[in-house]
Amino acid sequence: MLKDQETTKKDHIRTVAYSAGMIVLIIFSGILLIGDFITDKFETLRLIVWMLTVSGGLFLFVRWHARTFAYVCPSCGAKFEITPFVDFISPQIPPNGKCLKCPDCQTRAWMREVSKN
């Protein structure tokens, strides 16, 4: 049984801060590594390094999110965790929650996000 708590303001601030960090990483590493895209100095290797940097950052962010939050089904009340892959591909719209399929009742709905910490 998972212990769960309502998401707090601290959880939201952390999520926004990490999201902002990802945007900064994507933009600044993009400027540093592929800033010459417009000119003829563009190199494929730098594009690959940039894509690896962004992929790595995104992977760490999604893994953190999947490990930090669990979800509650509005139909049956089941609490469950999701994998980083499911976390990455499933839509999430605050304050509705995340659109997931309940592992207990098989209902697809907007699941309420709860903190695991």
Q: Tell me the closest approach of the beta carbon of residue 108 to Zn ion, in angstroms.
A: 10
Q: Compute the distance between CA of residue 108 and CA of residue 112 in angstroms, rounded to an integer.
A: 12
- Residues 62-81, one symbol each (x = binds Zn ion by CB under 5 A, - = not), give -----------x-xx-x---
DSSP, collapsed to helix, strand or coil, labels residue 89 as helix
Size of the site for Zn ion (CB under 5 A): 7
With residue 16 as reference, give the H or E element that holds it.
helix 9-34
Contacting residue, 33, 66, 102, 114, with Zn ion by CB under 5 A: 102
Shortest approach of Zn ion to residue 83 CB, angstroms? 18
How far is 35 from 27, CA to CA, in rounded Å? 10
Cβ at position 66, least distance to Zn ion in Å = 19
Does 89 bind Zn ion (CB under 5 A)? Our answer is: no
What 3-state DSSP class applies to 80? strand
Closest CA to 66 of 11, 116, 2: 116
**Between 66 and 73, whose beta carbon lies closer to Zn ion?**
73
**Sites of contact with Zn ion (CB under 5 A):** 73, 75-76, 78, 102, 104-105
